[in-house]
Structure 1
Amino acid sequence: MSADTLVTLAGRTALACAPDGPRICGGDDATEVIGAALGHRVELVVLPVRRLAAEFFTLRTGVAGEVVQKFANYRLRLVVVGDVAGHVTRSTALRDFVVEADRGGQLWFVDTLAALEERLRVETLRQDAGGR
């Protein structure tokens, strides 16, 4: 099993979770990741999609809400990296959830770290320009 690492993306330090780490099946599992993030004093956690239990992608289970709320409670941004297209095509509710999450700042879904870095770069430029 590889270890979680610190990465710098668009000038921000993030905790990049190892793809082969423990699966996140609920809030208690998220707490482990949150503890590591707080220990490293980061505000951004990058979690590979394969670390999320299948229940995360079935919204009626409540797992996604529980996990995202845990991160929000600790003021940590969560970014899920990887292809969620298969999950999204099976659920209109999940598709809407992903679209809405991507409009906000708490939870993002991106395909690659490069896409995340670009999104963070654009966000920084907007903030530097006064939010325009």
Structure 2
Amino acid sequence: MTDVTDRPTVLRLPAEGAPIRTEQDAMDVIGDAFGHGATWVVAPVARLHPDFFALRTRVAGGIVQKFVNYRVGLVVLGDIAEQIAASDALRDFVRESNRGRQLWFLTDEEELAARLTSV
């Protein structure tokens, strides 16, 4: 967890660990965020089940909706170029998400730091 005075409190998930695939997995992470007083969760791409990136499975929708309901921001951190290249729908979803203030798909720590200064 990172707590910087000018920035929101962030819970950073390790790359190792059980994949986040279900709404209950999302609730567990949100509970951890609340326990740490975090308003944002940073999840490495490796922690998200591959179904998250296949929008037809609705896994991403269910997970993201939980974060929205509990007003916890979610950052997917890492390279998803391969997944985006395979899906126009995912590319559009990422673009629209990155315009908002709830879900971001970011490639690296520098991009994350820049975004967090704007919230």
TM-score surpassing 0.5? yes
Name the CA distance, whole Å, in 1 between partners of 2:53 and 2:45: 10
Greater Rg over alpha carbons, structure: 1
Name the CA distance, whole Å, in 2 between partners of 1:44 and 1:88: 23
* Structure 1 residues 99-114: aligned runs within 5 Å: 99-114=95-110
Structure 2, unaligned runs of 5 or more: none
Name the CA distance, whole Å, in 2 between partners of 1:8 and 1:84: 27
Name the CA distance, whole Å, in 1 between partners of 2:76 and 2:106: 6
Count residues in correspondence: 118
Identity of matched residues, %: 47
The match for 2:2 among 2, 7, 21 is: 7
Greater shift, 89-98 or 35-44, is seen at 35-44
RCO higher in 1 or 2 (8 Å CA, sep ≥ 6)? 2
1:88 and 2:100 matched? no
Q: Which residue of 2 aligns with 1:17?
A: 13
* Structure 1 residues 1-132: aligned runs within 5 Å: 6-8=1-3, 11-121=7-117, 123-124=118-119
CA shift, 1:11, in A, is: 2.6
Structure 1, unaligned runs of 5 or more: 1-5, 125-132
Q: Secondary structure at the match of 1:79?
A: strand
RMSD of the TM alignment (CA)? Answer: 1.2
Opposite residue 7 of structure 1, the aligned amino acid is T
